[in-house]
Amino acid sequence: MPWGPEAKQRPDWMRVRAASPGSRFDELTEIVRSNGLHTVCEEAGCPNIGECWGRGTATFQIMGDTCTRACRYCAVTSGKRGEALDPLEPAKLAAAAERMGLRHVVVTSVDRDDLPDKGAEHWAQTIRALRRRNPELQVEVLVPDFLGAEEAAILTVLAAEPHVYNHNIETVRRVQPAVRIRGDYDRALWILRRAKELWAEHFPERGPLLTKSGIIVGMGETDDEVVETMRDLRAHDVDVVTIGQYLQPSAKHLPLDRWVPLDSFRRFREEGVAMGFGSVFAGPLVRSSYRAEEQRLAAEGGSRVVAY
């Protein structure tokens, strides 16, 4: 939720949809709790939780609820060390996906700079467990930058065969150093390109890898800079882009800079299509994982834009 005076000025287009009566919200809550799982929907206070959980989808967050980074816009708890890894987590997640009857699952994690492999092997085990138990399931991974172990970690994750490789660039080049303490704009671009190259080099029989990235707006950037970032992503062969409005999680977080108008989101969609993205999802309440299956299907089917 926005914090302070801007809460009063929240525009109409930021009104969120509550879970409708008879939706699957309560069932989802029970599945998440009974398996001791974490979701980024809850950890990040996502405004779409009523809608997504009501439709029976959620985004799982593995490797605990403590992140070893402290990005200024992020609501996830941070600390020097993360929690001990739960070796049963991959199996629990796979069982939860089966109970939920998912066709497409999005998995993300906290950053684990405290682990020698940055969590790559746990990622791989999670993808394998999901695929073994749910052979039809499409697995989208929203991975960190694996700082210090980048190439080996990317390859470890790719070897487990995710269907979509997502790494969020988060913001434009100029704003990046002020809001992402250990993040790096060029490293994010390199990761997205390198994932595709490694996939083609090591697993040519699998066909193309779909890559994806997301931008949060309202953190001090201009519309032109957003378009420039989209161009950079496209130049690194990224297939799917998502763009959504920043919401300040608390008074301690980065202040909201602006409510990005609907015309700007329309411009991002139009320019993104012209640039050749497979899918562009841009709107105030868009999040990286919001209607992720539709994003993938649009990219695979060549319909390019999913208007929001």
Residue 260: CB atoms within 10 A of its CB come to: 24
C-alpha to C-alpha distance for 217 and 222, rounded to whole angstroms? 9
Could you say which DSSP state residue 68 is in? S
C-alpha to C-alpha distance for 91 and 26, rounded to whole angstroms? 22
Least separation in angstroms between residue 49's CB and ligand SF4 is: 4
Q: Which amino acid is at 226?
A: V
Annotate 171-195 with b (16+ C-beta within 10 A) or e (fewer).
Answer: bbeebbeebbeebebebbbbbbebb
C-alpha to C-alpha distance for 273 and 271, rounded to whole angstroms? 5
Least separation in angstroms between residue 171's CB and ligand SF4 is: 18
Cα–Cα nearest to 62, from 99, 101, 106, 29: 106
Structure tokens at 275: 């640039």
Least separation in angstroms between residue 58's CB and ligand SF4 is: 5
Q: Which residues bind ligand SF4 (CB under 6 A)?
A: 40-41, 46, 48-49, 52, 57-59, 287, 289-290
Which CB sits closer to ligand SF4, 54 or 64?
A: 54
Least separation in angstroms between residue 116's CB and ligand SF4 is: 29
Least separation in angstroms between residue 294's CB and ligand SF4 is: 12
Which CB sits closer to ligand SF4, 183 or 244?
A: 244
Which CB sits closer to ligand SF4, 52 or 254?
A: 52
Which CB sits closer to ligand SF4, 155 or 215?
A: 215
Which CB sits closer to ligand SF4, 58 or 198?
A: 58
